Amino acid sequence: MSYHWNWSVFLAQVPSGGTTYLGWMLSGLATTLALSLSAWLIALAVGSLMGVLRTVPGRWLSGIAALYVELFRNIPLLVQLFIWYFVLPEILPTGIGNAYKAINPMLQQFTAAMICLGLFTGARVCEQVRSGIDSLPRGQKYAGLALGFSLPQTYRHVLLPMAFRIIVPPLTSEFLNIFKNSAVASTIGLLELAAEGRQLVDYTAQPYESFIAVTLTFMMLNALVMVLMHRVEGRTRVPGYIGGGS
Partner 1 sequence: MYEFDWSSIPGALPFLWAGMKTTLEITALAVAVGIVWGTLLAIMRMSGIRLLSWFAAGYVNLFRSIPLVMVLLWFFLIVPALMESVFSIPRTSDTRLASAMVAFALFEAAYYAEIIRAGIQSVHKGQMGAALALGMSYGQAMRLVVLPQAFRNMVPLLLTQGIILFQDTSLVYVSSLADFFGAAYKVGDRDGRLVELLLFAGAVYFLICFSASLLVKRFQKKVIA
List, in sequence order, the alpha helices (H) in 56-104.
59-73, 77-82, 88-91, 94-102
Number of H helices, E strands in the chain: 13, 0
Q: Which is nearer to partner 1, 45 or 216 (CB)?
A: 216
Q: Which is nearer to partner 1, 227 or 235 (CB)?
A: 227
We find the least distance from the C-beta atom of residue 191 to partner 1, in angstroms, to be 14
- Helix crossing, 168-181 with 207-236: angle to 10°? 160
Q: Which is nearer to partner 1, 72 or 155 (CB)?
A: 72
Contact assessment for residue 16 and residue 124, using Cβ atoms and an 8 Å cutoff: no
Alpha-carbon dihedral 175, 181, 182, 183, rounded to 10 degrees? 140
We find the least distance from the C-beta atom of residue 156 to partner 1, in angstroms, to be 32
Please report, as ranges, the residues that interact with partner 1 according to CB under 8 A.
Answer: 1, 70-71, 73-80, 82-83, 86-87, 90-91, 93-94, 176, 179-184, 186-187, 194, 197-198, 207-208, 211, 214-215, 218-219, 222-223
Q: Which is nearer to partner 1, 38 or 236 (CB)?
A: 38
Rounded to 5 degrees, what angle do the CA atoms 167, 169, 173 make? 115
